[in-house]
Structure formats: structure tokens, C-alpha cells
Structure 1
Amino acid sequence: MTRSPPPALHSGRPDGRTRLREATRADHERLHRQPAFAALADATLDLPAYRALLARLYGFHATLERLLGERIDADRADWADLRAPRAIWLWRDLRDLDVSEDELARLPLAEPGQLPDLVDEGRLVGCLYVRAGSTLGGRLMAKGLDPLLGPGGENGRRFLSGCGGADAQWRQCCAAIERATDAGRWDAMREGAAVTFTALESWMNGGA
């Protein structure tokens, strides 16, 4: 019995998601070398450093969510999961780690000008690719937190563990990538992903 080729190869070229992953591989790998993320991947963060990492991520995602909320059409069912909040899970992680609500209220937040300009749907989808993909990649890092937080459980690692429907969000993002590719928005989508990776790296490095 002859096996059918993977769906990505039926048309003779990779699907949009595969193309986007390859096109932004260097940006993705550079972000993984960012010191805080590298230490997280190596399971060498102590608790204060882990809190600082989560706080910085919160500052980025809280502002990004507000911008996405302004750009994602609330009436489109095919975008519903992409509107799901992610910053709330960082907030809950920080509360799990004994960060007070007063301290949370004082955390620095990214300014809109520090985030990608989502001027069209292609760039928007590229940005969503980075956001949705980060929650999936975080699961491996979450397992590396066992020495710090204890084995199992979600407390302190809800964001990295993908709480709040990360799988559904990723599926909807992949569908959006294919639609954007078919609609001729490839260049804008690739640019949106690249500038989002760069914006996140700059923010994590203390960019102001």
C-alpha cells in the first residue's frame, strides 16, 4: 500500500506554516539565545530571575493583547480563539510566585510604538504566529522548571504550559496562515512575524 505524501507536499511546495517557519528560523533561533530564554531552556534560572522573566513577558503581552483586540474583528468566528487572552496566565503565574497585586500594577508595560505595526491582515497573522507558537514552544521549557517549582502542576507555569486554549489558538492561527498565503499576503505575513520576534527580543533585553 502506497502512503500519501504529507499534506504540505501535495501541491509540490510546503504549506504556508512550513514556509513561514523556515523564513523566520533565524529570528526564532536568535530569540532563543536571548539570555533569559536561554537560561530558562537550560533550567538554570533561580526564582527571582524567573519572576523577572515572567514580569517582562507580562509587560509585552498585556500591551500586545490590547493592540490585537483593536485589530481582530470580534464578529469573525474564524478569529475567535485568536482573541483569547494570554497575559492573564502570566499574571496568575506571578501571583502564584508571591508577587503582590500592588507590585503587578507597577510592572512596566510596553508602549504601542515598541510593538509591531499591524497595518494589514498579513502582518497581523504574522504577529499571531509568533504569539500562538510561543505558547506551544513553552511547554518544553515548563518541564524544565521542575527543579525550581517542583514536579507537575501548573502553578507558576500556566503561561508556558499553554493554559487557556493554546492548542485551539494554534490551530486557528495555522488556518489563518494558509488563508493569508492563498490571498497573496505572504510578504506582509513574513514581515509581521519577523518584526514581532525582533520586538519581543528587544523588550526582553530591556529595550525602551
Structure 2
Amino acid sequence: MAVLVVTDPESQHEAAFPPVAPSSILSRLRLETRGEHDAVEQVLDLMGGSLTHQSYRQRLEQFYGFYAPLEKALQSHGKSPPDIADRPHGAYKPPLSEAISSALAARLNKTAHLQQDLHHFGVLTDGLLLCRDLPPLGTQAEVLGCLYVMEGATLGGRMITQHVRATLGITPMTGGCFFEGYGDDTGRMWQGMRQLLVSGSTDTQAENSIVTNAITTFARLRGWCETFPKTARQRDHAPCLKT
């Protein structure tokens, strides 16, 4: 998402990174998200020959508007007050497993990377629009479905890094930190994500929820990018809120 995703995380890297134990969840995600994955790729068009510094910067603004509120929502997931009864009605979210909580802590750095890149181009993020039509994150399975999209995007991001370096002269230190992902650790982090998906698909209901929310995450990102105004501080043309 990045994408988010500009390449298929399963097929693109299957040979480079040995697969985890066979699992229907990995196959289902690859196959059932294909339509929305391809639709997002077409909207973003980050690998096309027409990419300019201006359009690249706008893509960063779009990603920031999606990732900033999404990472904030993921960070707050499972943080319960001492007395759950004090929460507003319907605000309680079941706690995440220790493995998923640890995975989130290590992975929710995309907003900071986008801020770094945008600041390099002279863009202040305080006034940028933020998406409010986010994917649901009410259950552990929904969190995993969302993470599948976010983490799969880091694989495609490495390809974008090479492309923008060659065509625009942009490096991870000069506006391309976001797409660099985890650098040399990207493959290892993706393998960890795949293991989480396998362990989290405990039954058919959980598996269905993971797949459904992965599709939803792609769709919400696509909708955000399609309606994102050419001027990121205009509020009248996109489902958004201000920072």
C-alpha cells in the first residue's frame, strides 16, 4: 500500500523467500484480493514512465492521508482503560495476541517515514487531509487482513525505490524512505507476517474475516486515492478529515 501494493507479494517473492507451511489463507489472500490489488495498482501508476516529481509528491500525500489515521487506529487497538465499563458503548476492542501486538510495534513506522519524505519536498503534514473511511479493525482477524495489505506493500516498495532512483534521482535519503520499507530486512519481515496470518487463521470464520478485510483495505485505499483532491488542503472533494 507501498500500497499500498504495486506487486503481488506472494508470486513476486515466492522463490526468493521459501514459503511457510502450506496454508489455505495464503492462497486465498493471493487469489481473492487480486481484483482490488490490480485496481489499486492502476490508480497509483507508480511504475509508469509519466511519473514526475510533482505526481510522486502527490502520491506521498495520498499515502500519508491513509496511513496516518490507519496507523493511529492500529496503535490504539487493544489498549483498554483499567475499567472497561468506562469505555463508550461499542468502543471496546478485544485484546490482540502477544504475537500480533509485537508485530504491530515493529511495523507501525510508515507515517514517520512519509513525514520524513514529505518534509524533504517542503510539505508540512499538519494540514494534510486524512482519510476517515478506514477498514474495520474491530477483531484480531480484521487487523491481520489490514496488515496483509500494508506489509505486502513493502515488497512492491522496493521495486518503486529502484524505479524512482533511476527516473527521478530520488533515494531513501532524498524523499524515498517510505518505499524503502525495512531495507534488507524486508524479506524477513514479510516471512514473519505470513507466519502471523497462518497462526491467526484459527478457523473458517477467522480466515474469511482476514480475507474480507484485506479486500476492504485495498478498496478503501483505492477509493481514497481516486477521490483525493489535486490540492491536498481542499476539503470539499474527498471523504476526509483534517489533522
Superposition TM-score tier, normalisation by shorter sequence: 0.7 to 0.9
- Which residue identity lines up with residue 163 of structure 2 in the other structure? G
Query: Any idea what the Cα deviations from partners look like across 1:168-196, whole Å, max 9, x if unmatched?
Result: 54233212210122333111011110110
Identity of aligned residues (%): 28
Match in the other structure for 1:110: 131
1:31 aligns with 2:51: no
* Number of corresponding residues: 192
Query: Any idea what the Cα deviations from partners look like across 1:152-178, whole Å, max 9, x if unmatched?
Result: 554211111114764454233212210
CA spacing shift, 1:7–1:50, aligned 2, 3 Å: closer
1:81 aligns with 2:103: yes
Query: Could you tell me whether the CA contact under 8 Å between 2:75 and 2:104 is conserved in 1?
Result: no
Match in the other structure for 1:16: 25
- Which residue identity lines up with residue 161 of structure 2 in the other structure? A
Query: Could you tell me whether the CA contact under 8 Å between 2:65 and 2:128 is conserved in 1?
Result: yes
Structure 1 unaligned blocks of 5 or more: 1-5
Q: How does 1:42-53 map to 2 (within 5 A)?
A: 42-53=48-59
CA spacing shift, 1:74–1:179, aligned 2, 3 Å: closer
1:123 aligns with 2:142: yes
Query: Could you tell me whether the CA contact under 8 Å between 1:136 and 1:166 is conserved in 2?
Result: yes
CA spacing shift, 1:59–1:15, aligned 2, 3 Å: same
The Cα RMSD (Å) is 2.5
CA shift at 1:150, angstroms? 1.7
Q: 1:162 aligns with which of 181, 185, 190?
A: 181
Runs of 4 or more above 3 Å deviation: 72-75, 151-154, 163-169
